[in-house]
Amino acid sequence: MYSKILILRFPKTVVQNPIVCYLARNHDLVFNILHAGILPGKEGYMVLELSGQRKNFKEGVQYLKSQGVDVQNASQEVKRDDTACVQCGACTAVCPTGALSIQRPDMAVIFDQQKCSVCELCVPACPPRAMKVRPIRQAFF
């Protein structure tokens, strides 16, 4: 299962279309609306968590873009404090995207930030609290 928090910006020409409904139905994706501001005849925005198979996720994002929706990743990221990490591997058990993995034979915990969906499951799973969520930039709504 792949999951990511996205910021969608809808031009006023498409706000009345059921784009998110079709996104979920036609691409077998699940969404959770975290915040939204959409009014008929005006531009709108929506922050949603989108989940599904990686292939379906990519196709769904392409669908959104083809409808004129601006798609951005949420303005936060997960970072690891390498000085606090004790290489226990607890985070790897909960990571749904494989961003956290154990490198063999030295058993080092590797964090590939490109694979991270910012689901934040690793944060409470980390005993020494080496995994942290931090803002990338300020989002304006």
Residue 104 in domain: yes
pLDDT confidence of residue 140 = 42
What's the structural domain count of the chain?
A: 2
Residue 141 in domain: no
CATH number of domain containing 90? 3.30.70.20
- The C-alpha torsion from 12 through 2 and 130 to 77, rounded to 10°, is -20
Residue 140 in domain: no
Say if residue 139 is exposed, middle or buried (CB neighbours under 10 Å; 0-12, 13-18, 19+).
middle
Question: pLDDT tens string for the chain (141 positions)?
Answer: 788 888 899 998 888 889 999 999 999 999 988 788 877 778 888 888 899 998 999 999 999 999 999 998 876 788 999 999 999 999 999 998 899 999 999 999 999 988 887 778 899 999 999 999 887 654 444
- Of 73, 101, 122, the domain-final residue: 73
Q: Give this prediction's pTM.
A: 0.56
Q: Judge whether 105 and 99 are in contact, CB under 8 Å.
A: no
Its domain, for residue 99, covers 76-135
Identify residue 4 by its one-letter amino acid code: K
pLDDT confidence of residue 62 = 96
